[in-house]
Amino acid sequence: MDKTYTQIGTSCHRIDGIEKVTGQAQFATDLQFKHMLHARILRSPHPHAIVKRIDTSDAEKLPGIKAFASLFEVPKVLQYWFYLRNDQKKKQMFLTDSIVRFVGDPVLAIAGEDLGIVNDALSLIRVEYEVLKAIHTAEEALTQNKVSIHHQGNIAFQVTKEFGHVDKGFESSDIVVENTYHTPRQKHACLEPIGTCVADFHLNGRLTVYSSTQLPHWSKHYLSEAMGLSLNQVRIIKPFTGGAFGGRCGLIHGLEVMSSVLSRKTLRPVKMSFTRQEDFLATEGRHPMKIYMKTGATKDGMIVANDVHILSDSGAYGTHYIGVMADCLSTGAGLYRIPNYRFKGMVVYTNKPMSGAMRGYGNPQMNFAQESQMDMIAHALQMDPMELRLKNYRKAGEIDPVLKEEILSNGLEQCLEKGAASCKWKEKRVAPSSSNVLRKGIGLSIMLHGTGAARALPDPGSATIMINSDGTADLLTAAADEGQGSRTVLAQVAAEILGIDFKDIRVSDTDTDITPLDCGTHGSRQAYCGGLSVQEAAVKARQKILDYASKELNTDEGGLIMASGVICDPSDPAKKITLKHLMQKMQIQDMTLCSQIIESASGIAPAMPGYYGAVFAEVEVNMETGCIKILKLTSAYDVGRALNPEMVKGQITGGGIMGIGFALTEKTVFEKSHVMNPGFSDYRLLRSCDVPKVDPIIIESHEPTGPFGAKGIGEGALVNVASAIANAVYHAAGIRLTDLNMSPENVLRLLNQLP
């Protein structure tokens, strides 16, 4: 049996909740400073053009216009922090030139006394363009040899991997399933639009930027390179952030660098806020992918070969395309024990808005293809899809072929069993209750997602704990909380180890001046990687406390216990002292000592453990209208250990609904390279009336390397929703949807009711 924990495993309320329900929480959009200027960006109307000349003369005459920063002088960021490793790589991270590469690419930023005057100025700028031929699709990027979006051409990245011998694998297959899948550009659509910052440059060379970034420390690195400043001259402060989902995974294209240049020119704070339309048009989205997959299985249901070809569209730039493609490989090859596996990935540039990191990071696209294939194989073999999964998934004790690490925890079997029991899989699978028009069905899918990025990327985590003289503690961490609740969970971890209440832990603001190096929030890593750093620092602090207490109590520290703010020797009731008295003595009373316990930890996580999940989707397909109604999701996820169960459920439920959006309604529509739906009226998010019941189920497999056994959850809850829905639609209506979204038009086309 586990020991009893009092702080972790309980659903404490979030530590920043009161600010959020009272309106006191200050988001970047709320910040106001004295003498602050406002800035906006003039954006390209062309998908591909050379900017020959920018005439600002009329705008300059407007009173209140203070500065301009053009694309000729502002570097764009082209890569992620993998490229910070050496000076040569760093050079490849930035690009300053005169070319605009998508509709919305920044041409000129203007700073002025108020937004009204800046908007007036925008209309007075005259730009002379030499329009170039544009690439509208990933296929065109490969065939239009005369058009080159970047100097190295249109291919951003390619990778080939083969495990075993795929062609031989197909020879030994009894059945082969072969399909091509298409997935669209999904937007993060966090409620606080992506793209607000305030940059404040002082003449002493110090640049402070308030930005809702997921990666405060890496953003500091990028900015220091872009602005030619040393790292200790740049300070990033992350205010409250209105959601991120990968959309703030680095600097925002045009935002922080242009604002910083404007601030350096004016020596005044400069605030820039993108509108919702700019968020849709000119910030990163999920990579659209075309995935060809050929899968072979024996008649007893063993998958023996998989051949995967992916064409991914990074848009005009894109910072994360290498990592996203790498995740397609690692999640695909890692989930199932397939002896013969070939993976060919290619990422191309097009003259469209950039793709980047988004919740799931390549996995939702890959999983949609992989889990649709599995469903078809199960159908062909007349096997329960659950049984097919159970036969083929990689269990704990097996080696992950990409990470080359042993899988130490995998609760997938319990996810499937508990999920199936909860949704009554067997009964519903056998006898779908259907009318002629409304057909009900149920489908399932599974997924693996990595926690953090240990050894795949520079992925540091750090924490500092300082014990106060009243027995409370301060935790300094740059583990950026975008709303998921990491600050609360990290306080729980620290409190558990220090034997105090989590409310007695103050978690610092995220400010690179006071918080030590941390990779930030990506890869579902904060409970695990952040938790490990906090755990290590707290264990050290606890040891210091016990050492001092043993001297004060004149007893052996090995026998002391710490709980509820009291340190005592259980064998001698007289020997006890409160943490408050002990720390007061240490810091203030004992004037020979006057010392505070300050302990830090910094380093990389020992592993990149996979977390797992099974989703059961129940749907109703209207055979006349083509509408798919989701009746219920049952989502069971193995999170190692739920440090805060209600927050874990919040991730599962919210991720599930975002996954339904990816499956059914969320799609950026293009007319050539122009985005046709840059707003919530035409880009359809699910609303309260649209959402089904989600039944979140937590499975705890106790990851041995994790803090109290925890691993990730944030991204995974979205990953396998679309595939479960596709499989349920097949069960209901006998049609196989290989292209997202599963719109009524797509359904009717497959039902042969539309051309």
Partner 1 sequence: MKRNDLEIKMNINGEWKTLMVSPNERLIDTLRNQLSLTGTKEGCAEGECGACTINMNKKAVLACLVLSVQADGAHILTIEGLQNAGKLHPIQSSFLTEFAVQCGYCTPGMIMAGHALINQNPDPDEETVKECISNNLCRCTGYENPVKGIMKSAKIMKEKPHHG
What residue ranges bind partner 1 (CB under 8 A)?
11, 13-14, 16-27, 29-30, 32, 188-193, 240-243, 245, 275-276, 482-485, 646-647, 649-650, 653-654, 656-658, 679-681, 685, 687-689, 691, 693-694
Q: Which is nearer to partner 1, 188 or 439 (CB)?
A: 188
Least distance from partner 1 to the Cβ atom of residue 358, Å: 12
- N residues, the chain: 755
Query: Residue 265: which H helix or E strand, with range?
Result: helix 255-266
Sheet harboring 37-43: ordered strands across? 65-70, 106-112, 37-43, 270-273, 196-201, 207-211, 234-238, 510-511
**Count of beta carbons in the 10 Å neighbourhood of residue 396:** 16
Least distance from partner 1 to the Cβ atom of residue 489, Å: 13
The CA distances from residue 169 to 294, 341, 497, in Å, are 11, 9, 51
Q: Which is nearer to partner 1, 17 or 734 (CB)?
A: 17
**Count of beta carbons in the 10 Å neighbourhood of residue 708:** 22
Three-state DSSP class for 291? strand
Q: Which is nearer to partner 1, 713 or 750 (CB)?
A: 713
Q: Which is nearer to partner 1, 32 or 571 (CB)?
A: 32
Q: Which is nearer to partner 1, 243 or 301 (CB)?
A: 243
Least distance from partner 1 to the Cβ atom of residue 566, Å: 29
Position 458: which residue type? Answer: P
CB burial readout 558-587, b (16+ within 10 A) else e: eebebeebbbbbeeeeebbbebbbbbbebb
C-alpha dihedral, 487 to 493 to 494 to 499, nearest 10°: 140
Least distance from partner 1 to the Cβ atom of residue 639, Å: 16
Least distance from partner 1 to the Cβ atom of residue 70, Å: 27
Q: Which is nearer to partner 1, 181 or 683 (CB)?
A: 683
Least distance from partner 1 to the Cβ atom of residue 330, Å: 27
Beta strands in 44-174 (DSSP E): 49-55, 65-70, 76-77, 94-95, 99-100, 106-112, 126-131, 155-163
Cα–Cα distance between 207 and 257 in angstroms, integer? 11
Contact 253, 77 (CB under 8 A): yes
Q: Which is nearer to partner 1, 276 or 580 (CB)?
A: 276
Least distance from partner 1 to the Cβ atom of residue 65, Å: 18
Least distance from partner 1 to the Cβ atom of residue 99, Å: 31
Where helices occur in 336-442 by DSSP H, the ranges are 363-381, 385-392, 412-423, 425-430
Q: Which is nearer to partner 1, 653 or 720 (CB)?
A: 653
Q: Which is nearer to partner 1, 42 or 721 (CB)?
A: 721
Least distance from partner 1 to the Cβ atom of residue 274, Å: 11
Q: Which is nearer to partner 1, 460 or 656 (CB)?
A: 656
For 328, list phi and psi in degrees, rounded to 5.
-60, -40
The residue with tokens 């035409």 is: 682
Least distance from partner 1 to the Cβ atom of residue 14, Å: 7
